[in-house]
Each structure stands twice: as C-alpha cells, then as structure tokens.
Structure 1
Amino acid sequence: MASSVSFDEITKHTSSTSLKREFYGNYVSAHATLHVLQWNTLAQGLSNPEDNFVRVKNETVAFDTRKWRILEQILIRKPDLCALEEVDTYDCFLQYHLPKYGYTCFFTPKPKSPCYAFQHDFANFKGPDGILLCFKTDLFDEIERYHYQKSDNDTHEKPAFFSMLQLRHKPSSTNIIFVGTHLKAKKPFANIRSNQAKAIVQYLSE
C-alpha cells in the first residue's frame, strides 16, 4: 500500500529525513492478526511555538511540514486500523490523501474544541480538532458508523465524546467494533480515565 510512489509524494514536501523509530515486539503478518495505530497527533491549532514549544524550530511545527510527517508515519506503519486524536488537519489535508492509499476515514470534530481559542492564529488554526478513525478498505466492509457526545447536564464520568465503527473483517467474515476517544490526560486523573473507559464498554454493551 505505502509504495515508493507514496513516499516520493511526501519527500517532495519535506526537507530532511524523518527520525527512525524502533518498536520492540513480535510482528505477525498472519491474517488473524490486526495491526492498530493509536496516536495523539497534537492539534495544529495547539502547536504554536510561541506558547508551547519554545525550544522547537518554527518550521518543525509549521503546518506545511507537520501535515506531511503525519501522513508519512501512517504510511510507514501501514496499520489495518488507525485511531488518531487531536486531529484538526482532516478537512484541509488528510481527507484528500488517506483514501489514495487505501483507507476509508471517519472524522468526528470535538465538541468545544480548545482549538477555537486560537482562531486568531491564522497560520495554525485549521478548525476544531477531533477523532479520526481509519480502516483499510480492502480488508474491511463498513457496517455502521456512530459517534456519542456527552450532554451538558450529564454528570457521569463519561468521555466528552467517542467515535465507533462496526466493521466486517473480510478474510475471517468476523464483525468487530472499533472505538476511538480522547480520555482525560495527566497522571492525577488516572481513575477518571479508567471510569471513562468502563463507561464506553457499558454503553456499547447496552
């Protein structure tokens, strides 16, 4: 899928080789194994170096660089399923490129996205961030797509929202449910994250 032509397109828009990452584990290529990429891509609207990344060169976090690097990493990993958080580059970029490399996408904007606080940053504000779910079109048939948004008067420890795809795995004729969300960050909120995950499982089982 990620052929040399794919990377030729990317290298035209990047000036240096990306960092190499090594992952340890047993890579299995059998049909019974699914490879999943889960990644918080960092919303472009939150990447302003003047506020957040003072030790990073401006061109490193510039939209014209990062959008190609995000695409590059997806194609390098070649996941069967992909769940990305803090995506605000779908409408303006990824929706035009991922389908070319065999992916069907489902993007859900985040309610009350923090990116709206940076609308004045014309270079980086690309709209609300959200969850992007992708799957290999030649490997799955889509049965249903759905997203949940927490109401303002809901006091339970549920995620603000999550997205779900019900898919049929073609080689095994097995149905699966693929869910993406963005849980509350930072170490002090570990219990909240656990409760949020349990709430999703409970919701899906009802």
Structure 2
Amino acid sequence: MSTDILCADYRGMYQSAAGRLCSALRDVPALCASSLRQQPHHSPVKRRALSPPVPGSLVSLGCCHGLAGWIGDGPAKAVPSQGTAAPSAPTGGATGTAARSASRSGCSMGNSTSRLYSALAKTLGSTAAIAQHQEYLEESEHEQSDPLDPKDLLEECQVALQGRPARLNREFVSRRNDFSSSNSFRVMQWNILAQALGEGKDNFIKCPMEALKWEERKYLILEEILIYRPDVLCLQEVDHYFDTFQPILSRLGYQCTFLAKPWSPCLDVEHNNGPDGCALFFLQDRFQLVSSAKLRLSARTLKTNQVAIAEILQCNETGRLLCFVVTHLKARTGWERFRLAQGTDLLRNLESITQGAKIPLVVCGDFNAEPTEEVYKRFASSSLNLNSAYKVLSDDGETEPPYTTWKIRPTGESCNTLDYIWYSQHALKVNSALSLLTEEQIGPNRLPSFNYPSDHLSLVCNFSFNMDPDRLL
C-alpha cells in the first residue's frame, strides 16, 4: 500500500477522533475566531496560580491526552486526567542521564493514540481492523466546528504547566522610525520538534526525559502559539497533527493543511504517532484560501523526502493576494549540495505559483542551512526578490541572528542559525520581530528544556504591505 493511501486512511481515522474530542469539549465556552484579532498582540506573561479546571474542560480531560481514550480504546468516560508532576527546574548531567535511562526502560513513548497508530501501520490492510473503528468515521461536521475561546485555552495550558518554571520572556523589536499599520499581519515559523524524534532518536543528553513527555510538552507548544496568536502559522516536525493541532487550531478559527514526509524518520521509532511533516494554518477571519499546492521537493530529477506547502491567500481587509509557504530541507552536514538542489526546486515551483513574483511571498522554514550555505545565497539572490525578515534584529539590518537552535547531543554542542522567514521585499515590510532567547535564558543544558518545548526557537514577525509595491521591482 502506498504512503499516500496510508496517510489518507490515517487522516480519516484521526479526523474522526477530532470529532470525539470536540464532542467531549462542548462545555468549553465558545467564542468566535475573530476574538483572536480583537485582542491586542502583547508580550508574554509569567504563569500564575490558577483555579482548578472545571469538569469537561480541556485540562480536566487532559486536553489532547484525554483524546487517547477516544482513539485507542473506544469512547472513554470523561474523567480528570491525573497527569504527571514535573520537577520545578531542569536538571542536567548525571541526574538527567539517569532520568532518561529510567524513563526509557519504564515508559512507552506515547499513549493509546500512538499504540493504535503503530497497530494500524501493521494491520491496515485488514478489513476487520477498519470495520472495528468504523464508528469513528461517522462524526458530523457540526461536532468539529464549535469554536474555542483562546483565552480559556491559554488559561488551561497555564494550569497544566504550573509545575514547570515560568515562561521565558521575549520582546518584539521594531524597525527604526516604524509606525504600526492597520493592515499588518503576524507570521510565526517554528520547528516544534517531532515527539517521536525528541523521545526516541534525537538524544538530547542534557534534557531530562520528563521534560519531553507529550502530556505536558504539548501545553508548552500550544501556550507559545496562543501567546503570540499568529495570523499565519508555519510548523515543521509535526507528528501530532490529527490528534492535537488540527482539532484544536481549527476550533480557534484556523484553516489547517498538513503534508507528511514520504519516509518520515518518526516511523522508525517504536510506538510512534505516525509520520511527521509540515503544517500551515491561517485565520479565516483574516484570509481566505485561493489555491493550495503540496510539493515534494526534488534534487535534480530525484524525488526526495522533504516537502513544502504553498498556499495563495487573499487578505479579507485589503483584497490583496499573498503566497505563504512552509518547508523543511534536508538536515545534517555533508548534504549542502542536496539542500541547494531542494531549494532550487522550491524556488522554481514558487516562480510558477506566484506568476514570477507578481503575488508576494512569505516563505517559512527550517532550512538546516547557515547563512554561509549556497542554498541561503540562492534564496537571497533569486528573481523573487526575497529578503530574510530576522535581519531586522541586527544593528546594520543585514546580519542574521547568531542562532535559532541550540542543543547538546552526544556528538557535541550545536548552536546554529537554520530557521528563516523570507519575504517579498518589494511588496512587504517587516514592522517588528520577536527577539530570541538569550544564552542566559536558555541555560547551560540548552534546548529543549522544562522551560521550552523544542530545540528550535519560534520566529514571529509582524508584516504590512508597502504603500507602493512596484517601487522596488
């Protein structure tokens, strides 16, 4: 059976599970997705002590953790999730190593959701196995459409994270002499770290396994998204799309698109939650979808394992078109020419999709390439007239940040700039960008940690349209 067919079957299974989640959450107060726009963007706040969750809420069900019962063992009773208590601060060295060893020997990677997915991968060809879960394929669209209040969801995330250290504060840095624009929009780029890779393959030797458990790490990821409330969200290494991000973000007013890697390394991990891939989300009260393209990147004539999503959206406020792209290029040293070929193929596709840059572009991705690499230079010099948004943080406006990822593995410490938000500089301008965490905030054990859920930092930019978009063409 082909990967595409498998993914299609998995999609149906998990979308039905999303319906179960929505049904269980009907008691959560509803709020139209437009509230995301009505609330002003603000700086992150420290977590505070909050009242216990009410029955029927996301936290009382363990949020997505409660979904495990729906998918793995049939409909479950809505009972409060006991969860796991996390240490108040990260530990490293021998303590972290011991915790990791104990956790690996005594705890499976996931919940019953992961176990079901693993079983499906082996028995999907069996009609009996499909019939067993047929009831989950009959959920109505109505059950999946009830909106969530983002303020309530953020508060519930903070309840779930009370045992963890306070949030690490980051501020927006504005361009000199820049004034906020009424037609601005916010874009967030983030490699969130696939759960299967974080627990099973990446081997962050200074990060305790307790910090990586999905039961709490998912709340850190959702909290980061809810704090900054992007109009367009681009994620890489998403392996909990159907049971977490699609059901929750769709109820926050986002339209969601996902594309899995054909040969995801997550599938090599026991009790995985399916393949990882790229995902693109946009607020439907800000944009409407015009067209969507799912790309499998090529290296010359060879189809590769890396993918991209490119969607043309129309701004509801101005009527102008924008093309948003999310991608994730091949990792590791020694693959520089391969990444260059992938990047060249992506640029060639975008040239066609945007009609030769007539439609402005925002390209988000983990390029796995430093600014010195040829693929970076190819993007910077392409006919699409792209510039890197995070240069705005530098004094000269021409220099990339010193790092967007910082981790420690058995092979040593890696501090690199690999993540970018490219934009059409003739049509768009960067109003502000979210500052990066300092070395002191990140700490000696680096990322991920109890404070931060990924080994990559999120990039967040506020853009607006140039008044004279043809001026720089």
Matched ranges for 1:163-178 at <5 A: 163-178=309-324
Q: Which residue of 2 aligns with 1:16?
A: 164
Q: Which residue of 1 aligns with 2:119?
A: none
SS at structure 2 position matched to 1:171: coil
The 8 Å contact of residues 49 and 61 in structure 1, kept in 2 or not, is answered as no
Letter in 2 for 1:202: R
Letter in 2 for 1:8: E
Once the two structures are superposed, residues 147-166 of structure 1 have per-residue CA deviations (whole angstroms, 9 ceiling, x without a partner) of 0124799238x773211111
Shift of 1:16: 2.4
Q: Which residue of 2 aligns with 1:80?
A: 231
The 8 Å contact of residues 92 and 126 in structure 1, kept in 2 or not, is answered as no
Pick closer, same or farther for the CA change 1:80–1:51 going to 2, 3 Å. closer
Shift of 1:78: 1.2
Larger displacement relative to structure 2 (49-58 or 90-99): 49-58
* Counterparts of 1:85 and 1:18, CA distance in 2: 25
Shift of 1:194: 4.4
Matched ranges for 1:98-117 at <5 A: 98-117=249-268
Runs of 4+ in 1 over 3 A off after TM superposition: 150-153, 186-195
SS at structure 2 position matched to 1:101: coil
Shift of 1:77: 1.3
Shift of 1:93: 0.9
- Say whether residues 1:199 and 2:345 are aligned partners: yes
The 8 Å contact of residues 49 and 58 in structure 1, kept in 2 or not, is answered as no
Q: Which residue of 1 aligns with 2:325?
A: 179
* 1:26 alignment partner, one of 174, 179, 184: 174
* Counterparts of 2:344 and 2:183, CA distance in 1: 27
SS at structure 2 position matched to 1:161: strand
Q: Which has the larger radius of gyration?
A: 2
Pick closer, same or farther for the CA change 1:22–1:194 going to 2, 3 Å. farther
Once the two structures are superposed, residues 151-201 of structure 1 have per-residue CA deviations (whole angstroms, 9 ceiling, x without a partner) of 799238x77321111111111101111111101234654554444333212
Matched ranges for 1:52-91 at <5 A: 52-91=203-242
Letter in 2 for 1:163: I
How many residues end up aligned between the 2 structures?
Answer: 201
- Say whether residues 1:129 and 2:276 are aligned partners: yes
The 8 Å contact of residues 159 and 181 in structure 1, kept in 2 or not, is answered as no
* Counterparts of 1:192 and 1:45, CA distance in 2: 25
Larger displacement relative to structure 2 (63-72 or 27-36): 27-36
Q: Which residue of 2 aligns with 1:142?
A: 289
The 8 Å contact of residues 49 and 56 in structure 1, kept in 2 or not, is answered as no
Once the two structures are superposed, residues 98-126 of structure 1 have per-residue CA deviations (whole angstroms, 9 ceiling, x without a partner) of 122221111111110000110x2x3xx21
Once the two structures are superposed, residues 74-95 of structure 1 have per-residue CA deviations (whole angstroms, 9 ceiling, x without a partner) of 1111111111000001112111
Letter in 2 for 1:132: A
Q: Which residue of 1 aligns with 2:111?
A: none
The 8 Å contact of residues 297 and 342 in structure 2, kept in 1 or not, is answered as no
Pick closer, same or farther for the CA change 1:112–1:50 going to 2, 3 Å. closer
Pick closer, same or farther for the CA change 1:113–1:51 going to 2, 3 Å. closer
Once the two structures are superposed, residues 35-72 of structure 1 have per-residue CA deviations (whole angstroms, 9 ceiling, x without a partner) of 21111111001011786123222221001111111111
Matched ranges for 1:29-48 at <5 A: 29-48=180-199
- Say whether residues 1:4 and 2:164 are aligned partners: no
Letter in 2 for 1:138: D
Pick closer, same or farther for the CA change 1:35–1:188 going to 2, 3 Å. farther
Give TM-score scaled by structure 1 length. 0.84
The 8 Å contact of residues 165 and 178 in structure 1, kept in 2 or not, is answered as yes
* Counterparts of 1:131 and 1:50, CA distance in 2: 19
SS at structure 2 position matched to 1:47: helix
SS at structure 2 position matched to 1:126: coil
* Counterparts of 1:56 and 1:147, CA distance in 2: 35
* Counterparts of 1:7 and 1:160, CA distance in 2: 32
